[in-house]
Structure 1
């Protein structure tokens, strides 16, 4: 990924940034033995209070990028609710840490963004192979 993709305001650059953020937060590496992808969201969520605040801020960044893309208020509200639910569940000791592996708000939000981009900006589609 080049520097222009990280700083550009065009839809392809925003898509690349959001996809990179989702991968970092939800699927950075695989837990050996379990073969389950884990990201920074689950790891920083292990730090009481501060970890949940940082994870919520990173999730809010994805929503902010979606707002810049012109997603509807309804879609932004759904995305915000995903981040809020993830934060609320994550704040519960032990249970919240386990839930971070199951409820991936950033992945859900990326799905909403991709659907919007595929419909309104089809030139940004990336064929994964």
Structure 2
């Protein structure tokens, strides 16, 4: 089991990243995905809701004083996730594998270490 993060921003973002990118496990193969690709199946708001939730992690990084370069990388991750996620079917598969929120949380963690 992974130790609990010490920085408050890491504790707050851990659950969001997990929920959007890794909350559901496929038995036997152990592959994980979250609500992001599932919400992407909804017409119109399918990419909007995960994008807003993804920006929460970026907002926490801003409040924690993370460098502008790291914030820019996080925004690229979210932007790519939204842009690719808007493509029917292929976008949902991309969302399930790209895991922008886990990537952004790792960027935040490295920045605060």
- Structure 1 spans left out of the alignment, 5+ residues: 1-10, 119-129
Give 1 or 2 for the bigger CA radius of gyration. Answer: 1
The answer to whether residue 35 in structure 2 is matched with residue 46 in structure 1 is no
Question: Which residue, 82, 100, 125 being the options, matches 2:95?
Answer: 100
Q: 16-25 vs 85-94, which deviates more?
A: 16-25
Q: What per-residue deviation string (whole Å, max 9, x for no partner) do you get for residues 73-124 of structure 1?
A: 1111110010000000000001101111111110110111010111xxxxxx
Match of residue 24, structure 2, among 29, 40, 43: 29
Secondary structure of residue in 1 paired with 2:37: helix
Deviations 1:25-76 (A, max 9, x none): 1111202354211111121111123010001101111100100000111111
Higher RCO, 1 vs 2 (CA within 8 Å, ≥6 residues apart) = 2
Instruction: State TM-score, norm by structure 1.
Output: 0.78
Kindly indicate whether residue 52 of structure 2 is the aligned counterpart of residue 69 of structure 1: no
Following the alignment from structure 2 to structure 1, what is the Cα–Cα distance between the partners of residues 40 and 96? 10
How many residue pairs get matched?
Answer: 108
Separation in 2 of the partners of 1:83 and 1:31?
25
In the superposition, the TM-score normalised over structure 2's length comes to 0.89
RMSD: 1.3
Residues 73-92 of structure 1 mapped to structure 2, 5 A cutoff: 73-92=68-87
